[in-house]
Structures are given as C-alpha cells and as structure tokens.
C-alpha cells in the first residue's frame, strides 16, 4: 500500500490507550485532549485558531493548516469534526461528532507564510493524496454556534491501520464519529490540535 493511504479493516478494536494527553488546544470537555497549538486559516488575514468565531461564508473551502516551524520527514493527517451535532447538542464531548474532513498525506512546506502577523509553515498535500473524507463546510443550525475541531495525527511511516467496524462505519457515514475511539483504536499519535467556532446563518 502506498504510504499515506489507509484502508479500514473491520475487526475488533484493540483497547490501546494513548498516554500523556493533557488539556490544551482541543476545546474544554472534548476528547482527545491535546495541548500543542496549530494555526488554521481560510485566508491569511485571520487565524482560525483557539476558538475564534469565523464567518460561515469564509469557510466554503478547506482551511490550510500550519505549524510554527517546518517539521522535516513527517507525514500528517488532519481530522476535523463537530462535537456539537444535533444528536448531542452544543457541549458534546467528541464521542458523537460529525466528521467534516479527513485528509492524509500532509507534509510540512519549506516556506513560511504570514498569517495575521505570525510567520507559520503551512502543511501541504504535494502528492495529491485523495481525502479519506472530503471537506464539508460547517453549517450549524441558524443562530447556533458550533465548535470545529482539527486534530493533526502523525502518520509518518504508517501504511494502514485497523479500527473497529463501528469506527470504520462512522468514518464512512460521517455521523456518530468518535474521535477519541479513532485515536485509541488506530494507535496514531496526536501531534497538535486547534478549534474555531462558526455560527449558523
């Protein structure tokens, strides 16, 4: 299998716990918790970072992710989800989310870009790896503010992983997606995280 492409295998999950996750740039109460910041932007004038509210109209195509410095020789996948779905209401903990985006094959670019006055290093998909799930624009109900969480997974050297049928199904259907279960079952390491808010119009 080509590096950066995954298949889901429907077998029972191994109950591997990731150790050392601490609270941080994932929103309070959403799992998995992670403390490493990441910059996310739709245009370079505004960082869609650390819970800021982004106008829905600015979110129609996938954001660019960026790290504070270039990281050589690593590949990453981003998983973006909404923990505040109609199924849970606002305040969900990430175990019953809507999966908005799952893109593997990201690598650190070599050049920096200025995002709202801060120099960051974008993550790019130079090999044009197909998304596991293409980006779906945030669209919360009118007047409701939802959190949109991005978890960056380290996929360096990973050519496949096994998750449970339930997790595989939720990844395919996008609904009832449990990010915490996904991380535990896949054994992938969380590298950094971010979230921003969008209010329904």
User: By the 8 A CB rule, do 170 and 8 touch?
Assistant: no
Counting every residue written for the chain, the total comes to 201
Sites for ligand NAG among residues 41-60 (CB under 6 A):
50-51, 53
- Cα separation values, 61 from 41, 42, 79, 101, 137, Å: 11, 8, 15, 11, 7
Nearer to ligand NAG, 37 or 58 (CB): 37
Exposure letters 153-182 (e unless 16+ CB within 10 A, then b): bbbbebeebbbbeebbebbeebebbbbbbb
Q: Which of residues 179-198 bind ligand NAG (CB under 6 A)?
A: 180, 197
* Region of 128 on the Ramachandran plot (φ > 0 left; ψ -120 to 50 alpha; else beta): left
What distance lies between CA 135 and its chain's CA centroid?
Answer: 11
Distance in Å, CB of 100 to ligand NAG, minimum: 15
Chosen residue from 165, 187, 200, 201 binding ligand NAG by CB under 6 A: 165
Of 141 and 160, which has the nearer Cβ to ligand NAG? 141
Q: Report the site for ligand NAG in 62-121 (rule: CB under 6 A).
A: 72-73, 90, 93, 95
Instruction: Tell me whether residue 83 or residue 105 sits nearer to ligand NAG (CB atom).
Output: 83
- x/- track of binding to ligand NAG for residues 138-157 (CB under 6 A): -------x-x----------
Q: Toward ligand NAG, which CB reaches closer, 134 or 173?
A: 173
User: Can you tell me which residue has the tokens 């994932």?
Assistant: 26
Could you list the residues that contact ligand NAG (CB under 6 A)?
A: 31, 37, 50-51, 53, 72-73, 90, 93, 95, 145, 147, 165-166, 169, 180, 197
């Amino acid at each position: 299998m080509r590096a950066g492409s995954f298949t889901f295998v429907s077998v029972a999950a191994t109950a591997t716990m990731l150790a050392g996750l601490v609270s941080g740039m994932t929103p309070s109460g959403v799992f998995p918790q992670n403390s490493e910041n990441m910059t996310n932007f739709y245009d370079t004038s505004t960082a869609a970072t650390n819970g800021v509210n982004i106008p829905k109209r600015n979110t129609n195509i996938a954001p660019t992710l960026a790290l504070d410095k270039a990281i050589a020789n690593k590949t990453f996948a981003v998983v973006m989800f909404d923990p505040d779905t109609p199924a849970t209401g606002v305040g969900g903990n990430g175990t019953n989310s809507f999966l908005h985006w799952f893109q593997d094959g990201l690598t650190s670019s070599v050049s920096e870009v200025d995002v709202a006055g801060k120099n960051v290093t974008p993550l790019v998909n130079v090999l044009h790896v197909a998304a596991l799930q293409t980006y779906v624009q945030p669209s919360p109900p009118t007047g409701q503010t939802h959190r949109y969480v991005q978890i960056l997974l380290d996929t360096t050297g990973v050519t496949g992983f096994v998750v449970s049928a339930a997790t595989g199904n939720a990844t395919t259907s996008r609904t009832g997606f449990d990010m915490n279960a996904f991380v535990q079952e896949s054994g992938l390491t969380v590298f950094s995280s971010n979230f921003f808010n969008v209010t329904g119009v």
